[in-house]
Structure 1
Amino acid sequence: MQAAQDDAHTPAGDGGPEPRRGRPRSAAAERAILDAVVELLEAGEPLAGLSIERIARTAGVGKSTIYRRWSGKEELFVDVLREIEPADPTVSGTAGLADLRELLESMRTRGLAQRSSVLLHNVFAQMKSHPRLWAEYHRTVVAPRRVAMLAAVQRAVDAGELRGDLDVELMDDLFLGPMLVRTVHRPDAPLPEDLAHRIIQILLEGLAPKPQVTAGWPTATPV
């Protein structure tokens, strides 16, 4: 009877992402649902095997309770990932390079978390084989982070901390690229505490050799 009542309130499938259906009616219920997904994942359940019905049963709620909060599994899983990932930093929104440094440091912290957490590592590995889930994660998590980075670079330009004659998106990629390589593409690479600072400092100083001083006159080192 409970399942039949739940189905009357749920879509005819997990469907694509839809707008949220209002604010949660119970913080305790939402907490139980998020915890249930984490519990199932920690027990070794694959993402593909997690149904809304199984999650509801584990959380001790009806399926309609889940659908009142999330439009489907993709939206729910992204919120679960937000729960187990390190939180995004709170930046000033007014600084340029200082905010950029905080955002890069947050990427480094998430990289460390993925290396140390078997759960996070497994979830990310599985997400990549689920296009709709991966797309939802990019839309709601990755894209806003990129917007925040671009805004910080633009503020640095406006404040005279960065050149104003260069493409802002390209500069953003130059700051972002080294951290992405270290955290995503080179899981064995070191992630020292000063990495964000060093990336910014090296880019500000440039990669060309510094001029050598000979007899009181600076001369450029041949390339």
Structure 2
Amino acid sequence: MSTTTEATTESLQPDLTDRIRGAILSGDFAPHQRLIEADISARFDATRAAVRTALMNLAGEGLVERLPNRGARVRAISVEEAIEIVEVRMGLEELCARKAAENVSDEDAAGLADLREQIRSAVDAGDLVGYATLNQEMDRRIRELSGHATATQLLERLHAQSARHQFRLAYHPGRVSQSGPEHIAIIDAVLARDPDAAADATRRHLQGIVRLLSELP
């Protein structure tokens, strides 16, 4: 392979990892499903070497598991493990919420206030898909405002691992009417520049997720 081709493959690699990750999180690849390099290569129009590297990246994130002499498959996350992930997230997200409240600027606050109203509208309309997207955007903004690179990196990995269970919870009866006000409370605390209130609201929200996960069949 020429140096130019290697450089091109290297530059495309993060995108391929993102695309395969997206397929796993959206359910295109099911838990325990074998990930055959030739099939993925054809699906994403990528080289076998690029696919192999992407799968290694995703194994490092905990989304894929390598099988001795059998390639790779989508790693299944049990409810028990999902609960542990949320418990770990709790400390990290409290930290990010606290720092976001300390760091938020007037410009940031205006954007958060707009997002708050979008969340309220989605809840009132019963728009589950829209609400889920806004929820992800809120989480992203809090992490961004925190300015804590290490916590952000860890949280992004943990969110990816528990995404399937989060999706199940999003459609749990009455979940949106409960979690919507919880998210709004987090935003309100950040807007008030109250670190303790932001951390408390975040902890209460995640404790609710743990309770719901423990009730899943």
Taking structure 2 as the reference length, the TM-score comes to: 0.29
Taking structure 1 as the reference length, the TM-score comes to: 0.28
Higher relative contact order (CA 8 A, sep 6+): 2
Whose radius of gyration is greater, 1 or 2? 1
